[in-house]
Structure 1
């Protein structure tokens, strides 16, 4: 590896007998950005443990290469260091990849700009691949049943389930098409997708369940969706809408994932029996799902400010 002769830390590396290559994990974007910036307090707040010779191993990495410096030689305005790897440690975490000015996925296809033909489909497949891996890790971490939703031809559709040790059902169906207005996944898409995409299904559901109060119901739905956008999350507490499917009352949480255009492309959803499922705003589940969705959105190129408000307006059915 090489280092600029003008780097503030160069005298330390120049005289050090050992160094370590910390291969960051795919959820350590903030750590990567911290060490890419100038400054002398980069380790502040970063958990470390000592490696061979006391070199600092950063916590949570994908792998570590602990090396002994055996030679160094000048390379223009840089110093080139040659080391012998003394110990390799792998943690099983997926590595963070950077190239072409952006963070990438360690898979055959990255999440860069898609080709012109079929670009939308390819971009969504790449987003699903990235989110699936995150979903597996989050479900395992929190021991909750989680699903990954997309907007399909028939509406909100679950394309991946991850079970917990207390599954809500032994028959979770991939490809399950959900209602828009009574499912957490559906409400998430209704809140953030453009109204021209969701309005036909919303109006059909309102008409199917209407008792002559469709205009009032449409206004109530618009108010509900505005509240969801304001909070950034869907929380359903104790719904019986899926009792025939799951055999019990459930609670659910769904958070949106956005792409570089600010469009919602995925919904991360967690479900559980309502008597044990914590959907509180300050709870671990809500907090971690928000963090996971934000990280995925960042990886897909969304700005930190999030997606633009589509401000859907449901059309009232008037005679």
Structure 2
């Protein structure tokens, strides 16, 4: 032994092809072959060969209408599996079914991932919410209850870029909020109440979300309940109370001590 750690041999072609997956993961949306090859610093014909193999594996998909490349279903499955093995998710998941039964609403868990507030667990009620949401959905910070929780309790440095992007999109799409002042007011309201409540993100659906904190006082999860407007409104106080109580219980399981953190 020389004291030097010998570098393990790998498969270079996999590492080279992996650059394409890294570029797709970092992109804001689907990419053309030419721009994807340039981003990965490889010739387009070489990139295409890798992409064909990745498509066969389900890691990449090509949109039939546009020819653009994007991450595939298996890539999403890998990402969700990795997120789902984070300890807070494992602990919190055990509480979802009981909460859903208690409030008779759909409940979900979200984590903060590379692209924002990402849904990783979902338990439907007997009358599941008919919406476009699904596992892996990234929720807007300025318009959804789930996103609002992370917006209110994460640092500004973690959310500022996404907030700027969303406000610009809101202006283009004639949605609210459109100003930083409106966002600040919402953040203050969420912190004062201890939860976020939204009635106009998805037509006909209302949602509430509460933060889950870890032992260091950092927000690690958003616990969300959502349902159709009228039944949700009729029991909103009970729903929010159960949601906050469950989020507090999970936080305690993760070692959160509000008095110690505040001291």
Please say whether Structure 1 and Structure 2 have the same fold, judged by a TM-score greater than 0.5: yes
Please give the secondary structure, in 2, of the residue aligned with 1:173.
coil
Given candidates 224, 234, 244, the residue that maps to 1:290 is 244
What corresponds to 1:262 in structure 2? 217
Give 1:132's aligned residue. 93
Q: Pick one of 200, 225, 232 that aligns with 2:187.
A: 225
Query: Is the 1:279–1:285 contact (alpha carbons within 8 Å) kept by the matching residues of 2?
Result: no
Q: Does residue 131 of structure 2 align to residue 177 of structure 1?
A: no
The alignment partner of 2:210 has SS state of strand
Larger Cα-atom Rg: 1
Distance, in Å, in 1 between the alignment partners of 2:260 and 2:184 is 20
Kindly provide the CA deviation profile for residues 63-105 of structure 1, in whole angstroms up to 9, marking residues without a partner as x.
xxxxxxxxxxxxxxxxxxxxxxxxxxxxxxxxxxxxxxxxxxx
Deviation per residue, 1:26-58 (Å, 9 max, x gap): xxxxxxxxxxxxxxxxxxxxxxxxxxxxxxxxx
Give 1 or 2: higher strand fraction. 1
Give, in whole Å, the separation in 2 of the partners of 1:126 and 1:278.
33
**With structure 1 as the length reference, what TM-score do the two structures score?**
0.51
Cα deviation, 1:233-257, whole Å, max 9, x if unaligned, reads 11113x1x334xxxxx211000000
**1:277 aligned counterpart, secondary structure:** helix
CA RMSD, Structure 1 to Structure 2 (Å): 2.8
1:160 maps to which residue? Answer: 121
TM-score, with normalisation over the residues of structure 2? 0.62
Query: For structure 2, which runs of at least 5 residues remain unmatched after alignment?
Result: 1-81
Secondary structure of 1:251 counterpart:
strand
Q: Which whole-Å CA distance do the structure 2 matches of 1:160 and 1:179 have between them?
A: 17
Equivalences, count: 179
Question: Which stretch shifts more, 166-175 or 125-134?
Answer: 166-175
SS in structure 2 of the partner of residue 209 of structure 1: helix
